């Protein structure tokens, strides 16, 4: 890949794909371009845990528009591995996913944080399930908030501002 060089900026790649097909590529991956961020400016990192391709595309684009760096995990097992590799500033966690669901993943992440083997970070549920019982299940699993789909840019930005210092728009 050719590197883009801008004065006073570093090249960041967003998102980082955590799973790939047999040939090493992910044919379903949203099309993203490298982003330049001025040196010395921290770009908060969000781990999006989502198995649905359309939801991935929408959420990753929203996060990019907010100036956030994003990584993608497609299920709870990938999310555990991603957090162990490098703790994010925040996790957006889908609830229903194949393999390990979002509730179990949140429980395991919080257990690792209590043990001191993982840095603390907020976990926000991201689901179409909006009943009071669904919200309670998210909170009981250790999530800090419960956001509903479909995603709304303004609502997501408002929620993220509670937990992160978002970059100033250009």
Contact by Cβ (8 Å): 17, 29: yes
pLDDT score of 2 = 38
Domain boundaries, given as residue ranges, for the chain: 43-163
Helix and strand totals (H; E) in the chain:
5, 8
pLDDT score of 130 = 85
- Which distant-in-sequence residues (6+ apart) come within 8 Å of 141 by Cβ? 102, 103, 104, 106, 107, 110
Q: What are φ and ψ of residue 77, in 5° steps?
A: -65, -45
- Residue 131: DSSP 8-state: S
Contact by Cβ (8 Å): 96, 60: no
pLDDT score of 118 = 97
- Round to whole Å and give the CA distance between 39 and 62: 23
- Indicate the pairing of strand 9-12 with strand 35-38: antiparallel
89: preceding bond cis by omega (within 30 degrees): no
Mean pLDDT per 10-residue interval, the chain, length 170 residues: 35 39 46 43 90 96 96 97 97 95 98 97 93 94 95 95 88
- Round to whole Å and give the CA distance between 56 and 50: 6
Question: Would you state the structure tokens that stand for residue 167, as one six-digit string?
Answer: 């970059």
Model pTM? 0.76
CATH for 43-163, options being 3.20.20.140, 3.40.50.2300, 3.30.360.10, 3.40.50.620: 3.40.50.2300
Closest to 21 in 3D by CA, of 88, 90, 74: 74
């Amino acid at each position: 890949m050719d590197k883009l060089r801008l004065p006073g900026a570093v090249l960041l790649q967003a998102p980082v794909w955590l799973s790939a097909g047999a040939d090493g590529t992910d044919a379903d991956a949203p099309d993203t371009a490298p982003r330049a961020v001025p040196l010395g400016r921290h770009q908060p990192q969000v781990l999006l845990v989502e198995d649905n391709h359309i939801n991935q595309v929408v959420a990753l684009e929203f996060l990019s528009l907010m100036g956030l760096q994003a990584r993608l995990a497609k299920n709870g097992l990938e999310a555990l591995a991603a957090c162990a590799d490098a703790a994010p500033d925040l996790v957006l966690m889908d609830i229903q996913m194949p393999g390990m669901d979002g509730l179990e993943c949140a429980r395991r992440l919080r257990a690792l944080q209590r043990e001191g083997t993982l840095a603390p970070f907020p976990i926000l549920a991201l689901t179409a399930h909006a009943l009071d019982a669904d919200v309670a299940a998210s909170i009981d699993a250790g999530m800090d908030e419960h956001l509903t789909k479909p995603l709304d840019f303004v609502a997501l930005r408002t929620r993220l501002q509670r937990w992160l210092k978002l970059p100033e728009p250009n």
